[in-house]
Amino acid sequence: MFPELVVSRDRLAGNIRAIKAILDRSNIDAVAVTKGFCAHPLIAEVFTDNGINVLGDSRIQNLKKMRNLPGRRMLLRLPAPSEIDEVVEYADISLVSHYETARALSRCASKRGQTHSVIVMIDMGDMREGVYGASALYDALANIMSLPGIKLEGIGANFCCIGGALPTLEKMNELRRMKEVVEMEQGIFLQTVSGGNSSNLSLLLKQPNSSFYNQLRIGEAFLRGRETVDDQAIAGAHDDCFMIRAEIIERYSKPSAPSGSTGGTGFGKAPAFVNKGLRSRAICALGKLDIDDQQLFPIEEGIKVIGASSDHLVLDVEDCKSAPELGDVLSFKLGYASIMRSMLSPYVQKRIL
């Protein structure tokens, strides 16, 4: 049945080993971010089988799926007040930014006779989670470190998610200064500095000695074998661990631009087209419910993605050496958003090799 998502665990294992070797040279541990593949246990175990000791996800439902795998679990999204009990039950480590959240975790952990680790997040300009400014960080740490049932494991930052703020050398030095001031003024040692995500690999590859942090939370780079700032391939890694196959349900020669008056589509503004006359076009049984058509890369040379609606993927196949026909199956590499959507879609069959 199609569409079909094909996942190569062998190729994924190769990516893990290639990226882990880069991190090991700088004494950096990886948290494997599993939300991109919905924490499917058969895929998650590839990480634990290849030396990854912490699995991280933003959703409790996914942490539950991985509870029988070895290693620790990290909740990557800030804990919601309504889920504190489950956070303490299924996560070993949480990322926090509010003292009130840490206090709720403390109460729950103490009641259970457990110790729950927290990493205090700092907003370094990406406009997502974290305390803002050095003084807010110092106040938060001073309060949190005294809570019973809580281990202050360290500090962390995030980049390239909302604001597109890059993990530059200047940002890393700013984070380093915060760590040093905290340790000096509070008289503590921060065990973990979670310095970012897959976007940090770009600077790390260019300047291997640029890091002082000892942890990165990596998802996309593992899954796609590419760093995420310049989208460059990582040596020894693969960009086809996840591939989708879709069947052609129509193939005709048609105009390359719409006719008559046009307006917005069901997904926003009216798209722009260049009129190239009649072109050979194919439609696949695949759509925005299953993938992000902007992150879909045809394997066969000469195929161009024109666009997609909910259920139809439209392709220009005029320049294919061998013209595809009705019923043929085409294969595509996937960007991160397409991997996530295809894993989430109940309409996409999953084949894990």
Percent of the chain with pLDDT over 70: 99
Average pLDDT over residues 301-315: 96
User: What three-state secondary structure class fits 159?
Assistant: coil
Residue 41 to residue 70: CA distance in whole angstroms: 11
Q: 52-71: per-residue pLDDT in tens?
A: 999 999 999 999 999 999 99
Q: In whole angstroms, what is the distance from residue 63 CA to residue 84 CA?
A: 14
User: Is the model's pLDDT at 82 over the cut of 90?
Assistant: yes
| Lowest mean pLDDT segment, chosen from 133-142, 220-229, 267-276, 335-344 | 267-276
Percentage of the chain with pLDDT > 90? 89
Q: Model confidence over 85-101: pLDDT tens digits?
A: 999 999 999 999 999 99
Domain residue extents for the chain: 9-224, 242-352
Architecture of domain 242-352: Beta Barrel (2.40)
Q: Quick one: which of 205, 130, 220 has its CA closest to 174?
A: 130
Looking at the predicted structure, is the pLDDT value of residue 237 above 80?
A: yes
* Structure confidence by residue, pLDDT tens digits, 247-279: 999 999 999 888 877 777 777 777 788 888 899
Residue 78: closest CA among 106, 59, 63, 92: 59
Token pair for 56:
């991280």
What does the pLDDT read at residue 275? 86
**DSSP-derived secondary structure letter, 79:** P
Q: Which two tokens stand for residue 257?
A: 């631009």
Pairing of strands 215-218, 242-255: unpaired
State residue 208's pLDDT score: 78
The answer to whether 36 touches 223, Cβ cutoff 8 Å, is yes
Architecture of domain 9-224 in CATH? Alpha-Beta Barrel (3.20)
Of the candidates 132, 134, 128, the one whose C-alpha atom is nearest the C-alpha of residue 197 is 128
Max CA pair span of the chain: 73
**Which pLDDT value is given to residue 54?**
98
Helix (H) or strand (E) holding 180: helix 169-186
Question: If we measure between CA atoms, which residue out of 213, 215, 226, 130 comes closest to residue 177?
Answer: 213
Mean pLDDT of 296-310: 96
Q: What is the pLDDT of residue 197?
A: 97
Q: What does the mean pLDDT of the chain come to?
A: 95
pLDDT score recorded for residue 163: 93
Q: Write the CA distances from 215 to 111, 157, 158, 200, 334, integer angstroms.
A: 30, 11, 12, 11, 27
The answer to whether residue 211 scores a pLDDT higher than 90 is: no
What positions carry a catalytic annotation? 35
What does the pLDDT read at residue 269? 75
Supply the pLDDT for residue 110.
98
Which pLDDT tens digit goes with each residue over 33-54?
999 999 999 999 999 999 999 9
Residue 156 has pLDDT above 80, yes or no: yes
d(CA 227, CA 239): 11
Determine the 3-state secondary structure of 202 from DSSP: helix
In angstroms, how far is the first alpha carbon of the chain from the final one?
Answer: 16
Q: Angle, to 10 degrees, between the axis of helix 134-144 and the axis of helix 99-112?
A: 20
Question: Given this model, what pLDDT does residue 257 score?
Answer: 83
Q: CA triplet 306, 161, 141: central angle to 5 degrees?
A: 170
pLDDT for 209 beyond 80: no
Mean pLDDT for the stretch of residues 109-131: 97
Chain CA centroid to CA 165, Å: 16
Considering only 272-276, 293-297, 322-326, which range has the smallest mean pLDDT?
272-276
Q: pLDDT category, 312, cuts 50, 70, 90?
A: very high
